[in-house]
Amino acid sequence: MSDDPIKDVLNRIPYGFYSLTSRLNDDVNAMVFNWFSQVSFTPRLVAIGLARKAYTHNLVSESGVFVVNVFNVEDQDALTQYSKGRAKRPDKMDNAVYTPGPETGCPVLEGAAAFLECKVVEMVNTGGDHDILVGEVINAGILKPGEVTDTLTLPHVGWSYAG
């Protein structure tokens, strides 16, 4: 425990570890993220905490589409290669292996266990360092078998992004 009980509690929330991919014309990107949840049954909506300074923020805002790539625990290495931002690794997509999503054209990354293709419903300016990206799920695919317990999470990676 720390001297900050708010941080301590926020760090107890279980966070998955995913890749958000985007496309604007010929520019594609993949980033890792973890603040993600389904927020509606009808229509099927998801919400993502997206850093305002992230390269992907502009791509998604302009294109109106994105893909959430879900990974199994054993495929951690396939995901962590996208953990550096474009400012630090401008060439990270040069050798990326992916298939364009059938509905959005956004990358479905090699090694992903499943994916959700989404169209942007709203980008909520929170006034903080992250905005809330709300997307409607328009397509999905299962690429590898698995259960919720097989999904890669921050504790599996040994990282924390909360508090």
Q: In CATH, what number is assigned to the domain containing residue 71?
A: 2.30.110.10
- Residues of the chain with pLDDT > 70: what percent? 100
- Cβ atoms of residues 76 and 152 within 8 Å: yes
Would 1 be classed as within a structural domain?
no
Q: Which domain holds residue 149?
A: 16-153
Q: How many CB atoms are located within 10 Å of the residue 102 CB?
A: 11
Would 114 be classed as within a structural domain?
yes
Would 60 be classed as within a structural domain?
yes
Would 163 be classed as within a structural domain?
no
- Average pLDDT score over residue span 123-149: 97
pLDDT per position as a tens digit, 67-121: 999 999 999 999 988 999 988 999 999 999 999 999 999 999 999 999 999 999 9
Would 67 be classed as within a structural domain?
yes
Provide the domain count of the chain.
Answer: 1
CA distance 54 to 56: 5
Would 118 be classed as within a structural domain?
yes
- Average pLDDT score over residue span 34-46: 97
Q: What is the pTM of this model?
A: 0.95
pLDDT band at 159 (very low <50, low <70, confident <90, very high): confident
Would 35 be classed as within a structural domain?
yes
pLDDT band at 158 (very low <50, low <70, confident <90, very high): confident
CA distance 59 to 96: 17
- Average pLDDT score over residue span 13-42: 96
Would 4 be classed as within a structural domain?
no
